[in-house]
Chains A and B, each alone.
Chain A
Amino acid sequence: MELLSGGEMLIRALHDEGVELMFGYPGGAALHIYDAIFNQDKVDHILVRHEQAATHAADGYARATGKPGVVLVTSGPGATNAITGIATAFMDSIPMVVISGQVDSSLIGSDAFQETDMVGVSRPIVKHSFMVQKAEDIPAVVKKAFYIATTGRPGPVVIDVPKDVTDPARKFEYRYPESVKMRSYSVPAKGHTGQIKKAVEILLAAKRPVIYAGGGVIQGNGSELLTRLAQTLGFPITNTLMGLGAYPATDKQFLGMLGMHGTYEANMAMHFSDVVLGIGVRFDDRVTNAVNKFCPGAKILHVDIDPASISKTVAADVPIVGSVTSVLEEMLELIGSADARVDSKSLELWWQQIEGWRAKQCLKVKSAEGETIKPQQAVQSVYKATRGEAYVSSDVGQHQMFAAQYYHFDKPRRWINSGGLGTMGFGFPAAIGVQLAYPDAISVCITGEGSIQMCIQELATCLQYGLPIKIVCLNNQALGMVKQWQDMQYGGRHSHSTYSESLPDFIKLVEAYGHVGMRIEKLSELDSKMEEAFALKDKLVFIDVAVDQAEHVYPMAIKGGSMKDMWLSKTERT
């Protein structure tokens, strides 16, 4: 049997786990591990410029591929810098394994240089964590970490590795375990058949049904089955922010996104429905608005792999715990063999009502005067220039909502955004992860001039690895969503949300990093310049689009109301 050091075992175990790529940043406590990386060529390492970006890039990679993202950072500040990215992955249930260096075992607890209790600091934002006690444990710990991160409801797992454990002078027999068994961790597999039967009966008898599907469908690779179910039943379907792409956005049964900035028709359909089939969703406060006024006439069927998600905020009438694929398969079988058929007469009336809501065209963009570009038009232009085929990552704020509303995702894993934690600075590093996963695909980051400055140092990473990402910056010279709330709820007092006098010249900035910058200021040039930018296939292009500074995102839920209570514009409400 082969003899390896702890550091070598760690990297070999990653390879044996199927890891091709990891993101990281070296430092003292991780140097033995980095030396082990240097001496092999099986696992690639991407050097970022800030550990937060390493976690976001690994996260973007995981969201786009479905494979776990892997991060390597050093102890202390390296570990704490990774925290925001770990929390982001945790909130959106993204599989990730974060390996952090730690000071020597003998120094732990002594306030040693670059010491942080990483297991303690990360505890509330990980699915699980390990502190490696001895080098011999490394293969089993890595195996368990990946198993936990990728199964059930996925999530980030931290492995904290004291430096002495990776000592190159101490070698051990290496064998990677083939399987893992943990008495305290089991993965719910199939849903309860009786419950699924009950759900199907309710669905077939429904008069005003809506399917409400979320990120769980994407994480659980259930998009195809979901699409089949929705089309077999002929039911209207809406996706959450996290679920965009789970059902093809350009299909006629799709009502658009629901929730705080969801479409009029999706929110109205939810409110007036008699049956809601929630799949891979968690009835988040950004969806439900006031929980006590949520879907007053609806029976709630809730499918999720995490029992704790069910009846957390909204009580489910039929709870089903299971993987989306197994439950959807069983539902389709039962529907196929059932004597009952959907109530097509009621369904027809329901669709008529929905078409009435649709006729409002709540997302219709009214052009501004003259050459002013509306941010929505910029997103539409990106959609045209990329033929709807891009992987779109976004940061957080108005641009995120405009991207969600106006870029129509027909496929899962194309929309990469921080929905749960709402992390500004996520989009650009996530786009790096996407581009590395799919070198030939178009990886776009739709961002704002606020968010992009939170991880802009990664322009250097893109130069180093030749990543031709397209950054579309909807530049309104303000923290747009903050400003919008201040307009609507704080009498227009823009407390610390504007900084127009101090914005950098982004064109010069990206040029300094060795990339191409382009500015678009006129509506008449928007599409042609956007095409031009995307035609530069092997270059990173930063497209700085000057957009209407006064624009708000609509529809917008009215706080404390039900789902039918929305602002549709600055002056019109439901």
Chain B
Amino acid sequence: MRHIISILLENEPGALSRVVGLFSQRNYNIESLTVAPTEDHTLSRLTITTIGDDRKIEQITKHLNKLIDVVKLVDLTEGSHIERELMLIKVKATGAQRAEIKRTTDIFRGQIVDVTSTVYSIQLTGTSDKLDSFIAALGNAAVLEVARTGVTGISRGEKVLSL
């Protein structure tokens, strides 16, 4: 099963490499990884999506917790949560395709953020599934370049991940 693990990490040199190293060292898988400082600049927030059965995820969270630089973590997929990913996608937009791409972008509530006579650059946010669907809807021929941020997320309701 896919899990989204959010981590508060000491914002210190080498801290990220300990987290990433743990995954490769123990043969765990990272599907996506996002990281940036939080409002408290001594802390970074990492969001990792990974795949594994309950036992593997339990080991992953236990080993992450053992890392000295990991202050706190939560498996967002354990409760209801909001997840988002941002994608910038550059597509060929010529001829009849041009109008069709615009329509598809509107349907997906994306925005065209850069335009040339032959190319659209589109920004789209949503769940990873939605981004996948958008790419599928465009058809492979049109896509020139894709840049995705990976998943970030928070729990719904009162639940917070903070110190």
Interface, chain A (partner B; CB < 8 A): 119-120, 123-124, 127-129, 131, 148, 182-185, 306-308, 311-312, 315
Contact = CB atoms under 8 A, between A and B. Distances in A.
A129 B21 CA distance: 14
A120 B62 contact: no
* Closest 7 pairs between A and B when the two form their complex, measured CB to CB: A308-B62, A184-B71, A128-B68, A124-B25, A185-B68, A307-B62, A308-B63
Interface residues of B, number: 20
Given A119-B14, A127-B68, A184-B69, 15 more contacts: A120-B14, A123-B17, A123-B21, A124-B25, A131-B14, A182-B68, A183-B71, A184-B10, A184-B70, A185-B68, A306-B66, A308-B63, A308-B65, A308-B66, A311-B58
Interface in B45-82: 55, 58-59, 62-63, 65-66, 68-72
Contacts of B59: 308, 312
Contacts of B63: 308
A148 B17 contact: no
A306 B63 CA distance: 10
25 contacts: A119-B14, A120-B14, A120-B17, A123-B14, A123-B21, A124-B21, A128-B68, A129-B14, A148-B68, A182-B68, A183-B163, A184-B10, A184-B68, A184-B71, A184-B72, A185-B68, A306-B66, A307-B62, A307-B66, A308-B59, A308-B65, A311-B55, A311-B58, A312-B59, A315-B55
Nearest to B163: A183
Nearest to B60: A308
A184 B18 CA distance: 14
Contacts of B163: 183
Contacts of B10: 184
Contacts of B70: 184
A135 B33 CA distance: 34
Contacts of A185: 68
A123 B59 CA distance: 19
A312 B58 CA distance: 9
A449 to B, nearest CB: 34
Contacts of A127: 68
Nearest to B9: A184
Contacts of A128: 68
Contacts of A307: 62, 65-66
Contacts of A308: 59, 62-63, 65-66
Nearest to B21: A123
B8 to A, nearest CB: 9
Contacts of B69: 184
Contacts of B139: none
B13 interface: yes
